[in-house]
Amino acid sequence: VTGWAPAAPAVAAKIDATMANIRSGKSIDLMDMMLTMQHFCGPRSRNDCAGYIAEMPQVAASVKSGPGTWDRKPLPKETALEIDRLLSEMANRPEAGTVRAELRSIAGELVESSPKALKRDLKAPLLLEKRPDEA
């Protein structure tokens, strides 16, 4: 892991392993994806967010083939809101224009894995609604 280093070596190892899984087409869950999103595109990150966004087709495929959450329970509210915030911020980046469909797919997975009471409060699904100019 380069750039901003997570506080714990175990977290850095988890990010590296998750990215290796993504690049090899293996399934990941939303919690693992959140770690990578925070690492590459979080508010304190100095990593290559544009490069991470370029890998969004692989990220979305890995999330889609995964279980949502490994324990198949709804995400904790704070986690769902953090993923929603990260997805919303990524959706507003200029380089995300070519991966809106993938971000929309991840937002759908987020809705499916979020607590029922929270689903209406998520912003990313609205931000990523299909535009008239999108195929």
pLDDT in tens, 38-91: 999 988 888 899 999 999 999 999 999 988 778 788 999 999 999 999 999 999
Task: Yes or no: say if 16 and 59 are a contact pair by the CB < 8 Å rule.
Answer: no
Provide mean pLDDT across the span 11-36.
94
Q: Give me the amino acid identity at 66.
A: G
What's the pTM value of the predicted model, to 2 decimals?
A: 0.88
Tell me, what's the pLDDT at 70? 81
Per-residue pLDDT band for 127 (boundaries 50, 70, 90) equals very high
Residue 96 reports pLDDT greater than 90: yes
Q: Tokens for 57?
A: 């087709």
Among the listed residues 24, 113, 101, the one whose alpha carbon sits nearest the alpha carbon of residue 67: 113
CA atoms within 13 A on the CB side of 38: 18
Q: Tell me the pLDDT band of 3, cut-offs 50, 70 and 90.
A: very low
Picking from 14-23, 66-75, 88-97, 100-109, which range would have the lowest pLDDT averaged per residue? 66-75
For 21-31, what is the mean pLDDT?
96
User: Is the predicted pLDDT of residue 9 greater than 80, yes or no?
Assistant: yes
